[in-house]
């Protein structure tokens, strides 16, 4: 009996320098039944020529609104029973799919999360920066969704689970991954966290995974806007409403701190005051989450 079809979705825009290696990392899995869907948002840097070297690919080439709109297009096109999400500048580790399939042989398991490795290239050599593994650091938890690591690329999902959780919310192109992870948390699928390295994140200029500085300011705004929007959409008293209320409290405090550190005390005070309209108790919820947040940071640094 042939193994179930595995679908890999890769969104792409002007990644001629890295997408070839990403595709090769999928081919290196030596899986007998796999489809790789590339969603190219209109690259103009030679990406199309790179993709043409791989005739096995399914390529969707059209303009998209953002990264998560592209991912959603790919997910609508998948035919596999198992789905993975691979960025165009990252790599699957050797044996990643085989390790996931060994766990998914249990039909009750809907999702597998592996370890994530972060690397860069110096003088033509790969240098591993960090490896994150284990449920506390990369697991399917509310703490990781709201203020920690969202390891969606280190996971493989049954397509039926993705159908239930629904598409990424591309209204928030810098925070949709965290919303996706929290919705998964709320669904509480039966899943497994394995020690095997699944994804290798490449650190380079322009990587969203490693971006900081000005993007951190934008991210803090997107996190708060998403939390505020989602909170208003939930039924009061429901588990989702309580979860997004906690997210809103954390996002309000985080944005206020980013603004204060940036020398914008007035803006930070305004953010804090505005948050009282959505949740009068938000400072207490923010403070309640701080100890766990710092423990998580220590765990990630020590990984």
Query: Is the pLDDT assigned to residue 126 strictly greater than 90?
Result: no
Please give the average per-residue pLDDT across 236-241, as a whole number.
96
Query: Is the pLDDT assigned to residue 73 strictly greater than 60?
Result: yes
Query: Is the pLDDT assigned to residue 4 strictly greater than 80?
Result: no
Residue 104's pLDDT is what? 96
What's the Cα-to-Cα distance from 158 to each of 30, 79, 101, 161, 189, rounded to whole Å?
20, 11, 11, 5, 10
- Tell me the pLDDT of the chain averaged across its residues: 92
State the Cα–Cα distance between residues 257 and 226, nearest whole angstrom.
18
Query: Is the pLDDT assigned to residue 213 strictly greater than 70?
Result: no
Instruction: Return the minimum-mean-pLDDT range out of 35-49, 104-118, 201-215, 242-256.
Output: 201-215
- Residue range 6-202 forms a domain whose CATH class is alpha beta
State the Cα–Cα distance between residues 131 and 211, nearest whole angstrom.
18
State the Cα–Cα distance between residues 121 and 21, nearest whole angstrom.
13
Please give the average per-residue pLDDT across 284-291, as a whole number.
93
State the Cα–Cα distance between residues 94 and 163, nearest whole angstrom.
28
User: Of residues 194 and 210, which shows the higher confidence score?
Assistant: 194
Query: Is the pLDDT assigned to residue 3 strictly greater than 80?
Result: no
Residue 299's pLDDT is what? 78
Instruction: Report residue 291 as tokens.
Output: 């100890």
pLDDT bin (cut points 50, 70, 90) of residue 35 is: very high
How many residues in the chain?
A: 303
pLDDT bin (cut points 50, 70, 90) of residue 121 is: confident
Please give the average per-residue pLDDT across 223-238, as a whole number.
96
Query: Is the pLDDT assigned to residue 115 strictly greater than 70?
Result: yes
Please give the average per-residue pLDDT across 257-271, as a whole number.
94
- With tokens 């708060």, the residue in question is 224
Please give the average per-residue pLDDT across 37-44, as a whole number.
96
Please give the average per-residue pLDDT across 182-204, as a whole number.
95
State the Cα–Cα distance between residues 208 and 89, nearest whole angstrom.
10
State the Cα–Cα distance between residues 113 and 100, nearest whole angstrom.
8
Helix, strand or coil for residue 30? coil
Instruction: Quote the percentage of the chain above a pLDDT of 70.
Output: 94
pLDDT bin (cut points 50, 70, 90) of residue 2 is: low
State the Cα–Cα distance between residues 227 and 244, nearest whole angstrom.
6
Residue 297's pLDDT is what? 82
pLDDT bin (cut points 50, 70, 90) of residue 208 is: low
**Using an 8 Å Cβ cutoff, are 34 and 8 in contact?**
yes
Residue 303's pLDDT is what? 55
Query: Is the pLDDT assigned to residue 230 strictly greater than 90?
Result: yes
Query: Is the pLDDT assigned to residue 212 strictly greater than 60?
Result: no
Q: Which of 178, 270, 275 is nearest to 222 (CA)?
A: 178
């Amino acid at each position: 009996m042939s193994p179930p079809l595995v679908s890999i979705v890769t969104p792409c825009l002007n990644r001629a320098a890295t997408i070839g290696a990403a595709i090769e990392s999928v081919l290196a899995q030596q899986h007998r039944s796999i489809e790789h869907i590339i969603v190219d948002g209109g690259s103009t840097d030679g990406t199309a020529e790179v993709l043409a070297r791989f005739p096995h690919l399914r390529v969707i080439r059209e303009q998209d609104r953002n990264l998560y709109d592209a991912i959603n297009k790919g997910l609508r096109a998948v035919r596999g029973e198992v789905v993975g999400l691979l960025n165009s500048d990252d790599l699957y580790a050797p044996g990643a799919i085989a390790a996931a399939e060994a766990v998914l042989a249990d039909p009750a398991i809907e999702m597998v999360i592996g370890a994530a490795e972060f690397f860069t290239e110096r003088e033509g050599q790969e240098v591993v920066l960090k490896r994150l593994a284990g449920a506390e650091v990369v697991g399917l938890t509310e703490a990781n969704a709201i203020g920690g690591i969202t390891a969606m690329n280190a996971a493989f999902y049954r397509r039926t689970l993705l159908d239930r959780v629904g598409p990424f919310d591309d209204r928030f192109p810098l925070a949709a991954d965290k919303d996706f992870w929290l919705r998964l948390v709320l669904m509480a699928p039966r899943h497994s966290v394995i020690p095997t390295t699944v994804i290798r994140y490449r650190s380079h200029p322009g990587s969203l995974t490693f971006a900081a500085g000005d993007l951190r300011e934008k991210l803090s705004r997107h996190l708060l806007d998403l939390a505020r929007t989602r909170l208003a959409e939930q039924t009061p008293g429901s588990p989702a409403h309580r979860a997004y209320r906690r997210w809103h409290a954390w996002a309000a405090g985080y944005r206020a701190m980013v603004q204060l550190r940036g020398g914008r005390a007035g803006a930070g005070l305004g953010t804090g005051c505005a948050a009282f309209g959505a949740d009068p108790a938000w400072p207490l919820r923010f403070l309640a989450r701080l100890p766990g947040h710092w423990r998580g940071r220590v765990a990630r640094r020590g990984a």
